[in-house]
Amino acid sequence: MTQELTGAVGFNWQDWDQAAQFCLQNDTHLEQGLKWSEIAISRPFVGQVNFTTLSTKAQLLAKLGRGPEAKKTMDTAMELPGTTSLEIHVYGRTLLGMKKVDEALAVFEVNAKRFGDQWPTHVGLARGYAAKGDTAKALEHAKLALAQAPDPLNKKSLADMVKDLEAGQTIR
């Protein structure tokens, strides 16, 4: 990869980020991955500060035991003008998958504060509150998300979520 990045592929941030992601996903050469992620972010004429590049860097920092720096990097990523509500939502879902419920709910709340009354924000809040055991708030946001669902597949999923919450069951 090092040799490939010195050629034509080294002229875009996506390839540097992809190399850093390889290190991250394979839990290998994490310091090198961090260097590559920094190039993806900041190399002149190549680097780009965006949610993807900062997220990769934050994940590498976390794996290297640099939690506060990782959190600061993700906070920056969530506040970038180009960051979407769906990107923030997926990050929150990732935290839920890692059983970091409080952190996930905080991310979903940032998403709601930043993007307001949008479908992904309500889905995230529904999931976050459900994970915290606050069924009433989870149900409130699940119903709002259901009304805004963009397609039949999401409508069905959210209808099932509402049904489960109304029955006092955990959501999938």
Tell me if the pTM is above 0.85. yes
CA dist 151 and 108 (Å) reads 22
Q: 13-18: long-range contacts at Cβ-Cβ below 8 A with a sequence spacing of 24 or more?
A: 13/40, 13/41, 13/43, 13/46, 13/47, 13/48, 13/50, 13/53, 14/40, 16/40, 16/43, 16/46, 16/47, 17/52, 17/53, 17/56
Residues with Cβ within 8 Å of 123's Cβ and at least 6 positions away in sequence, in order, are 89, 141, 142, 145, 158
CATH fold of the domain at 84-172: 1.25.40
170: left (phi over 0), alpha (psi -120 to 50) or beta: beta
| Model pLDDT, residue 115 | 97
Q: What is the dihedral of CA 106, 107, 108, 112, to 10 degrees?
A: 100
Q: What string of pLDDT tens digits covers the 172 residues of the chain?
A: 665 665 555 568 998 999 999 999 999 999 999 999 999 999 998 899 999 999 999 999 999 999 999 999 999 999 999 999 999 999 999 999 999 999 999 999 999 999 999 999 999 999 999 999 999 999 999 999 999 999 999 999 999 999 999 998 888 7
| Model pLDDT, residue 12 | 86
Q: Tell me which amino acid residue 65 is.
A: G
**Structure token pair of residue 24:** 């991250």
Residue ranges covered by each domain of the chain: 1-83, 84-172
Residue 142 and residue 122 in contact, taking contact as beta carbons nearer than 8 Å: yes
DSSP 3-state assignment of 121?
helix
